[in-house]
């Protein structure tokens, strides 16, 4: 493997891992507050649809980003209404969000654009361009500086979330809600308000992840274009033991495997021969299953995760 290919894989890894990082941080904030979020996939998918639709209609990057974040936040609030306000089953609610998003985005896309559920491509003026386009020629410079703003934002959000969760009063209360909500309530802090705050931040990050798929990675929305990335982010968060930095490394691992898989298609390996395309494409999903099967029992989740809290009167 020559040096240029190595740098190309690194650059591709960062691009592929960006929505995973944003979604993993979103899930981390929600689950640190004690709310299981299986609906990362659905929120990211609906946000991608909103970004593609509003981007085509408005011709504005900012409006498309706000629409994606707004839709994801509304879905997070819907999840909170079912699970936080009415003590519903958090897993069932998350699965419902995934099902609704998969079906409704396709139906609305067919009804509005008549292209099989796909939206028209957004214009180049709406797409998020590289921050330093003049440095994208050399492999080394491209790997480090040839990315758009959302890639760098996702990397900066990792230490920001770490600081917020472990070094602020809000983060201390957030973690306490995920461990012992009754103690937080006894201290005079609203458990419901904290969980809704976590879900709001969760929705904003999922919205950014969905918008990235349309405005930075692809040119238009395609039905089910998230392709399991929400579940990969969930696996990365669990593998990273609900810690932002560890979750980042897990997301980069998924991204690297995906980037390598793309370049292995049609390549003949020594003593193996040409690897089937289907086997190469399945590698990231196989790793997701292996990590969930091997580490979900070893990782220590917040003690109140998945437990509805009803304030005693």
Question: How many CB atoms neighbour CB 129 within 10 A?
Answer: 12
Residue 5: per-residue pLDDT? 76
Residue 138: per-residue pLDDT? 65
Q: Which of 74, 83, 81 shows the shortest CA–CA distance to 34?
A: 83
User: How many CA atoms within 13 Å lie on the side-chain side of 174?
Assistant: 26
Give dist(CA 67, CA 289) in Å, integer. Answer: 33
Q: Which of 291, 300, 295, 312 shows the shortest CA–CA distance to 32?
A: 300
- Angle at Cα 204 formed by Cα 198 and Cα 209, nearest 5°? 125
Q: Reduced to 3 states, what is the DSSP secondary structure of residue 223?
A: coil
User: How many H-runs (helices) and E-runs (strands) does the chain carry?
Assistant: 13, 2
Residue by residue, pLDDT tens for the chain (313 residues) are 566 778 888 888 999 999 999 999 999 999 999 999 999 999 999 999 999 999 999 999 999 999 999 999 999 999 999 999 999 999 999 999 999 999 999 999 999 998 888 999 999 899 998 887 656 566 666 667 778 899 999 999 999 999 999 999 999 999 999 999 999 998 889 999 999 999 999 999 999 999 999 999 888 999 999 988 999 899 899 888 899 999 999 999 888 888 877 777 666 666 666 767 677 677 777 777 776 666 555 667 888 888 888 776 5
Its pTM stands at 0.92
Give dist(CA 127, CA 82) in Å, integer. Answer: 35
Residue 139: per-residue pLDDT? 66
Residue 29: per-residue pLDDT? 96
């Amino acid at each position: 493997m020559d040096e240029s290919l190595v740098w190309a894989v690194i650059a591709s890894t960062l691009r592929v891992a960006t929505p995973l990082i944003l979604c993993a941080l979103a899930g981390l904030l929600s689950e640190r507050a004690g709310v299981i979020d299986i609906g990362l996939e659905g929120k990211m998918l609906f946000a991608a649809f909103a970004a593609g639709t509003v981007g085509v209609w408005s011709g504005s990057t900012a409006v498309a980003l706000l629409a994606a974040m707004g839709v994801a936040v509304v879905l997070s609030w819907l999840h909170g209404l079912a699970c936080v306000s009415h003590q519903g089953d958090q897993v069932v609610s998350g699965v419902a969000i995934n099902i609704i998003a998969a079906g409704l985005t396709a139906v609305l896309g067919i009804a509005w654009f008549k292209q099989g559920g796909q939206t028209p491509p957004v214009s180049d003026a709406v797409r998020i361009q590289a921050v330093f386009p003049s440095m994208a020629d050399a492999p080394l410079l491209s790997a480090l500086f040839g990315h758009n703003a959302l890639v760098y934002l996702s990397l900066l959000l990792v230490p920001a979330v770490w600081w917020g969760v472990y070094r602020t009063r809000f983060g201390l209360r957030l973690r306490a809600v995920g461990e012992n909500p009754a103690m937080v309530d006894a201290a005079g802090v609203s458990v419901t308000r904290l969980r809704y705050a976590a879900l709001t931040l969760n929705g904003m990050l999922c919205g950014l992840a969905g918008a990235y798929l349309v405005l930075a990675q692809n040119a238009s929305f395609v039905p089910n274009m998230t392709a399991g990335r929400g579940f990969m982010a969930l696996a990365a968060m669990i593998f990273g033991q609900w810690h932002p930095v560890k979750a980042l490394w897990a997301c980069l691992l998924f991204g690297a495997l995906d980037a390598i898989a793309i370049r292995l298609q049609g390549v003949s390996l020594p003593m193996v021969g040409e690897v089937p395309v289907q086997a190469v494409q399945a590698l990231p999903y196989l790793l997701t299953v292996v990590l969930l099967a091997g580490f979900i029992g070893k990782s220590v989740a917040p003690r109140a995760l998945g437990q509805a809290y009803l304030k005693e009167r």
